[in-house]
Amino acid sequence: VGEIAGRRVAFLPRHGRGHRILPHELNFRANVFAMKALGVEWILSVSAVGSLKERYEPLHVVVPDQFIDRTQQRKSTFFGNGLVAHVAFAHPFCRNLSKVMAEACTEAGATHHVGGTYVCMEGPQFSTLAESELIGLAPLAAFLAVADHAGAPSEDPVERRLAAAAT
């Protein structure tokens, strides 16, 4: 926890100190709970990703608005063990934080793209060429933007209120 430009911020290296925790080993629920306990209102997740479109070049910033979770081994909710809830997840990213991110990119002169679908693969390996080609050939390929194995927003409403991701 510290300050940047007069604002209180909290930083959490998602893969632990020394980058030693694999994507499927990350305890997203504990990380979100810790941020909530610190009073964090927005979580900005930054990832190095692979582009699924030629127009998204290295160093471009993508602020996605949709998400496809291709993971299988991760817990993705605070619910369970007797607590049942069904949560709308049509808009998985916080529109307010996405707008702030796009404005910050414009102000910084960064080439950025607003909208697009973030595809989260299992990891720790990246997609094989065949998987990338399959994703690129899928009927919904026109909507896909980037693929990675680190981001995984939960359907939990507390997490959704707290978590907004920009990649």
Per-position pLDDT tens, the chain of length 167:
999 999 999 998 878 888 898 877 888 888 888 889 999 988 888 877 777 777 888 888 989 898 888 777 777 777 888 988 888 888 888 899 999 999 999 999 999 999 988 887 776 777 777 777 776 655 445 545 565 545 554 544 444 444 443 33
The SS3 of residue 69 is strand
How deeply is 88 buried, as exposed, middle or buried, from its count of CB atoms within 10 A (0-12, 13-18, 19+)? Answer: exposed
Beta strands in 37-129 (DSSP E): 50-51, 61-63, 66-69, 112-114, 117-120
Q: Model pTM?
A: 0.74
The SS3 of residue 100 is helix
